[in-house]
Amino acid sequence: MDCKLVGPETLCFCTHRYKQHKTDLEAIPQQCPIDLPCQVTGCQCRAYLYVPLNGSQPIRCRCKHFADQHSAAPGFTCNTCSKCSGFHSCFTCACGQPAYAHDTVVETKQERLAQEKPVGQDIPYAAMGGLTGFSSLAEGYMRLDDSGIVGTSSQVSSLRRPEEDDMAFFERRYQERMKMEKAAKWKGKAPLPSATKPS
């Protein structure tokens, strides 16, 4: 699952945005993973690395310092304390896995098509990253569609009624999900047996 699709304003570990990294490549590199170095003068970042947020707050390392208090150079050592051997956060993603178990992956359209992953419509600006529509801003498990041309779009279109527009479809799906959650909640609250003693 793509837990997070990166867009032009998404921050890197080095605190610079995706659009400030080298995204317009003349030729696609053959080595994997594809590194997108930061183009800001003096920045030591060699490859774009997404750092998740906890709501709107940055995540902390196990040394209790934020990512921006660590070096952007490989190894990501802490600039504030000497006990930290490198940035390592125990923050858990919405997918249930810890942040350190995730990788930032840059893929070409051909690679995603070969893996049958969703791809968006072609865009003229490479620094748009994975953003192809409003729903691609949501985290992986919350995306109701793939905003792309392959992947689960056939599953979504089979759920959509012919007369429904996007808003009506998503509202209906939301209401269905809320009913299911409510039913599951009530199912878990079975009536307790009576505590009165027989006379």
Q: How far apart are CA 46 and CA 37, in angstroms?
A: 4
Tokens of 86: 């490198």
Residues 6+ apart with CB under 8 A from 52: 4, 59, 91, 93, 99, 102
DSSP-assigned beta bridge partners for residue 54: 57
SS3 state of residue 170: helix
Question: What pLDDT was estimated at residue 39?
Answer: 94
Question: What pLDDT was estimated at residue 190?
Answer: 54
pTM of the model: 0.62
Per-10-residue mean pLDDT of the chain, 199 residues long, equals 81 90 83 87 91 87 92 90 90 86 84 79 61 62 51 54 78 84 74 51
Q: What are phi and psi of 38, to 5 degrees?
A: -75, 140
The three-point CA angle 69-66-56 to 5° equals 130
Question: What pLDDT was estimated at residue 16?
Answer: 92
